[in-house]
Amino acid sequence: MREYNPNAIEKKWQKIWDDEETFKAVIDKDKKKFYPLVEFPYPSGQGLHVGHPRPYTALDIVARKRRLEGENVIYPMGWDAFGLPTENYAIKNHIHPAIVTRDNIKNFKSQMKSIGFSFDWSREINTTDPNYYKWSQWIFIQLYKHGLAYKKEMPINWCPSCKIGLANEEVVDGKCERCGSDVTHKVKNQWMLKITKYADRLIDDLDDVDYEEKIKTQQKNWIGRSYGAEIDFKLKDKDYKLNVYTTRPDTIFGATYMVIAPEHPMLEKFKDDIKNLDKVKEYQTFAKKKSDFERSELSKEKTGVKLDGISAINPVNGKEVPIWISDYVLISYGTGAIMAVPAHDERDFEFAKKFDMPIIPVIDNGDEELPTISNDKGLMINSDFLNGLSVDEAKAKMIEYVEDNEIGFAKVNYKLRDWVFSRQRYWGEPIPMIYCQEHGWVPEKEENLPIELPEVESYEVTDDGESPLSKIDDFVNTTCPICGKPSKRETDTMPQWAGSSWYYLRYTDPNNSKDIASKENLEYFTPVDWYNGGMEHTTLHLLYSRFWHKFLYDIGKVPTKEPYQKRTSHGMILGEDHQKMSKSRGNVVNPDDIVRDYGADTLRVYEMFIGDFRSTAPWSDEGVKGCRKYLERVFNLYELVEDGEEYSKDLEILINQTIKKVSDDYESLKYNTAIAALMSLLNEFRNKGTITKKDYKTYLILLNPVAPHLTEELWEEIGFEGELNQASWPIYDKSKLEYDTIELPVQVNGKVRTKLNISKDADQEDAVSKAENDKNIQKYIDGKDIFKVIYVPGKILNLLVK
């Protein structure tokens, strides 16, 4: 056995692919295009992690296979390079973030190249390049011009440690997603994007795309559309209507009290009427300390204060109901006030139990014991004119009632909030807006874009939380694009999600200086046919980019309604200890080490063989070694090759089956079972001892997408025509997918005793041994001697015994 030395082979082929621009995509209208996309990384100082190559390899396999099938594949890569870690590193080490970014990109790129991904490097993009962010700024201006960007003073999630405003999505369990500190609130004037205007389309258009179901569900839940009604409850003896949002207008006869958020404006308005105002104020301070997340946790102990001196009237039965303040009602959702129906809502139930309030069941679902929280099956009771109706009928009837009586109306609500788009940081795209005393906010003239980030002495946020740009007079002081009078530039920058919201468009035409990308390129290459990424991006990046895309569609900039036709997700790779890989745990595996010690092809095979692509999988050095062994066997397969332009007769079916399996599996994220099938075909080759050139050729092509360097090398070595990447993907013969089996009648002493399922070409030894193992035959031959065998393949087997 000769020694497999992947390093030399891999460098050689990587150079050839680079020199020949093998994977460069050019418009070719005669060919079907295929646009696979993986999420471009944030080029951190840590370099590539073994988690990165998992999705990159997976779609590289699909990209390479589709090229062999004759498709015109555009598989691009770039850098999502604005963001906090780089900025924090720059602050700490006094290096310009642009330099940190450049060095990190260099490292990432050489790591990626060493793994042999078939990226079209001529389309590389970098979100921090002014030629790129010019267009992020341009898109912002269009959003502004279409009324989708506005400035608003509002409480934002504030990380006291990073000194940055966070989007809701960046707050995880009440903590800053980046540094883990407790998030507080701060009122700031922020640029906002009206993603809520697109809420319906972001839900409804999911019907037209092929996303994994769990991704669709998460997006829908995040947007959180619910159908209900707003209903007015008059305050007793006051000219004021307390307006509630409910998804269950049917349960109104069971509303025994009301709850308003501690921030509800009514409290200020009636402060003179509230007798226990001190308690109320105390409670408001207490609630302020908690995040919305903590406040809405179901399991948490309910707290609240009953307003003394003020109450409301249930509009359907005229009964007086008390009003409470409690933090389980959020000011930011619905109307910030609810009618509480403790018999049928879990939170209300807990609250009513704790504070000893009446619980009136209004739905009879047949349970012996009322009330019951399971609340949408059964007929209405205790509900006057709704009695006897089903829940759905009662909902409709109550909405009709409140509308007729002008005490409310049907209402659709969303959990989705507008997108806080301002960051008070340095390392982001400057928001291209100017404030003029006379004209208010005015967008920068488009011909002046990009507004480049100026040099600053310090990248640190000012103590009052303003962007470091606010300290650069040259940057701040400008003139109004409308009247030319002295004006001030916006100093906030965009969030990290900006550049990634449209990058897949730029790949189609990365150097265009006149447009985000030309119409021709967009029409040919978009939409992305297959986008793979992490589940953690489902409600952030994926939703944001769908929003921007829809907006660009509305203004005629892109030809499709949706950016991504298909979306899949991968599982994380864990350390050998089954924990998430992290520096502090010391369980991080560096892909460079694997490439150096075992080769890129081994890394690729292992990353795909590690387990089901969608599931998390622990790293295993033993597993890597096993994959290396497999490739060593492939490397020595040439020893078995003899001339022959057809498949080996006895392998024909297995080869056809393997082509089918591998082709299907590569397209359906089943990389591990595809590789298993290739491993078992290799074993069959070795068992047999010799294979034909066609057997070999087919094997190399099938394995090529996973182990591209080794297979190219073997292809060249044996002298097949051209380079493997120019070959054609094998097509299986449908008529040769199954062994021909027949029902073979088996006689004992001339009498048919059974029928065996057996290949029509089975040899005599095979047929007899199968017959001997058959229960029906054993009865007649046990303890006897087979003295003669008559066998006509495909026809009959006769055993003569005595």
Binding footprint of ligand ANZ on the chain (CB under 6 A): 226, 245-248, 251, 329-330, 333-334, 336, 338-339, 341, 344-345, 375, 413
Tell me the closest approach of the beta carbon of residue 490 to ligand ANZ, in angstroms.
Answer: 32
Tell me the closest approach of the beta carbon of residue 530 to ligand ANZ, in angstroms.
Answer: 33
Tell me the closest approach of the beta carbon of residue 337 to ligand ANZ, in angstroms.
Answer: 7
Tell me the closest approach of the beta carbon of residue 329 to ligand ANZ, in angstroms.
Answer: 4
Q: Is 363 exposed, middle or buried (0-12, 13-18, 19+ CB in 10 A)?
A: buried
Tell me how many helices (H) and strands (E) the chain has: 26, 35
Tell me the closest approach of the beta carbon of residue 349 to ligand ANZ, in angstroms.
Answer: 9
How many angstroms separate the CA atoms of 172 and 180, rounded?
8
Residue 36, H or E segment: strand 36-38
Nearer to ligand ANZ among residue 330 and residue 456 (C-beta): 330
| Beta strand pairing call for 566-569 and 337-340 | unpaired
Question: Which structure tokens are listed for 778?
Answer: 């054993």
Question: Which structure tokens are listed for 142?
Answer: 């269009």
Nearer to ligand ANZ among residue 336 and residue 510 (C-beta): 336
Maximum distance among all alpha carbons in the chain?
117
Tell me the closest approach of the beta carbon of residue 390 to ligand ANZ, in angstroms.
Answer: 15
Nearer to ligand ANZ among residue 78 and residue 336 (C-beta): 336
Nearer to ligand ANZ among residue 343 and residue 744 (C-beta): 343
In order, the DSSP letters of 175-193 are EETTT-PBPEEEEEEEEEE
- Which residues are registered as beta bridge partners of 363? 380
How many angstroms separate the CA atoms of 734 and 766, rounded?
26
Check if the beta carbon of residue 168 is closer than 8 Å to that of residue 417.
Answer: yes
Nearer to ligand ANZ among residue 229 and residue 703 (C-beta): 229
How many angstroms separate the CA atoms of 160 and 181, rounded?
8
> Residue 294: how many CB atoms within 10 A of its CB?
14
- 489 — phi, psi (to 5°)? -80, 145
Nearer to ligand ANZ among residue 339 and residue 655 (C-beta): 339
Nearer to ligand ANZ among residue 334 and residue 443 (C-beta): 334
Tell me the closest approach of the beta carbon of residue 246 to ligand ANZ, in angstroms.
Answer: 3
Amino acid at 72: N
Residue 583 assigned ligand-binding role: yes
| Exposed e or buried b per residue across 138-168, where buried means at least 16 C-beta atoms within 10 angstroms of its C-beta | bbbbbbbeeebbebeebbbbbbeebbbbbbb
Nearer to ligand ANZ among residue 195 and residue 505 (C-beta): 195
Nearer to ligand ANZ among residue 331 and residue 768 (C-beta): 331
Q: Tell me the CA distances in angstroms from 755 to 85, 683, 794, 795, one per residue in order.
A: 72, 32, 12, 11
Tell me the closest approach of the beta carbon of residue 366 to ligand ANZ, in angstroms.
Answer: 17
Check if the beta carbon of residue 100 is closer than 8 Å to that of residue 82.
Answer: no
Residue list, annotated binding site: 583
Residue list, annotated binding site for ATP: 583
